[in-house]
Structure 1
């Protein structure tokens, strides 16, 4: 096993049954530890106290909703990857969550056999949108027409940076991108940093949305919400 660290996960949901279900599924998966579960009131303290790699966060909770909690978590000096949980295939909070900096979203009835793979992808820097609804939901929010202002931002990128961004749109981690484009992982990190700077965003999801709006992934060669590879 070497020095490989287990992925540390925190689950935040107002329903104890949901929390228990995720804890049971993920707790039985190799290489994943559920280090804490709680509701919105406990969320920030749990994240600060356990320093997880990934947080699964209910998007709709009574009192402080998931968007408020998301903003608090992402304001931490070294925030974990946060994926929003939703009961519905579409949700009017989803776009706001992605724009805020969420690393994706999962419907709560995600296949238990797929869930650990999604967690590992999030921990590795990938984007995870539920495969059954990801493209439909995202395109439903951003619209099908190309946005000229976003296309102009994409034009700032070099050819190599655009190739990396296409892989980001697909949900690939840095290691996946490095393997696909025959680059070093450090080089990919540098390209991703340059892409975020040129697109004037702070997260990979926001960059992927600009790519969609700007038409970079048009033509069917990539898909936001495709299975992480």
Structure 2
């Protein structure tokens, strides 16, 4: 059972997400919270995944993210936003968020995203990723392409699958590798790209237009 906490300042959003997620047999929403009580509720509920609103009036999502990830054995955190040009996206990315979802994400995709997050995958809503692809990073497209070119064929395959949101286990099944071998490849890729998270690596891959060669 995947344990989820939903953090949002709007009660309607919290109840709506809870209803959608609870319809899945393998997901349980163990708590909901506003920004002000998020840290306490997350500590009590000990979830696997936190869906966290970026913009909240009392305590904003970036503050909650920093506090949650600084604790021992933190959950996976994906940020929720209404805006596909939210200026906070890069800050939360740098702080360690594992994904970004627009609040109007299709219900079926929301459930699949939570499952992917729990499995260790990166989840990037196209609309939420667009500010990073189309903004500051657009000036670095050629640099991203050079960094991708420096990877081995196997590393490029691994990175392409990371950018598709696959977990290490799923990548292993695709490439006929053990999860531990995939983990080693991912670590090497992050080092070569000079990034510290799968999310940022996935954005570099998207920026460079990387796709897995399936020939």
- Normalised by the length of structure 1, the TM-score is 0.82
Partner of 1:173: 167
Q: Does 2:95 correspond to 1:92?
A: no
Partner of 2:53: 58
CA distance in 2, matches of 1:120, 1:138: 24
Give the conservation status (yes or no) of the 8 Å contact 2:85–2:128: no
CA distance in 2, matches of 1:142, 1:99: 14
1:203 aligns with one of 197, 204, 210:
197
RMSD of Structure 2 on Structure 1 (CA): 2.2
Q: Does 2:38 correspond to 1:43?
A: yes
Deviation string, structure 1 residues 191-210 (Cα, Å, up to 9, x no partner): 22232344343321022233
- Tell me, which stretches of 5 or more residues in structure 1 are unaligned? 1-5, 223-229
Partner of 1:102: 97
Partner of 1:120: 115
2:180 aligns with one of 177, 181, 186:
186
Give the secondary-structure state (helix, strand or coil) at the position aligned to 1:113: helix
Partner of 2:4: 9
> Judging changes above 3 Å, is the alpha-carbon distance between structure 1 residues 33 and 205 closer, same or farther for their aligned structure 2 residues?
same
CA distance in 1, matches of 2:184, 2:34: 37
| Structure with greater helix share of residues | 2
- Tell me, which stretches of 5 or more residues in structure 2 are unaligned? none
CA displacement at 1:153 relative to structure 2: 5.0
Deviation string, structure 1 residues 178-229 (Cα, Å, up to 9, x no partner): 122121122112222232344343321022233345x3x35xx36xxxxxxx
Partner of 1:79: 74
CA displacement at 1:49 relative to structure 2: 1.9
Give the secondary-structure state (helix, strand or coil) at the position aligned to 1:144: helix
> Judging changes above 3 Å, is the alpha-carbon distance between structure 1 residues 77 and 157 closer, same or farther for their aligned structure 2 residues?
farther
CA distance in 2, matches of 1:136, 1:200: 21
Q: Does 2:29 correspond to 1:20?
A: no
- Normalised by the length of structure 2, the TM-score is 0.87
| Higher RCO (Cα < 8 Å, 6 or more apart) | 1
CA displacement at 1:11 relative to structure 2: 0.5
Partner of 1:227: none
CA displacement at 1:135 relative to structure 2: 5.1
Deviation string, structure 1 residues 92-148 (Cα, Å, up to 9, x no partner): 1112222222111111122222211110011111121224x2553331234434456
CA distance in 1, matches of 2:154, 2:109: 31
> When the two structures are aligned, how many residues end up with a matched partner?
212
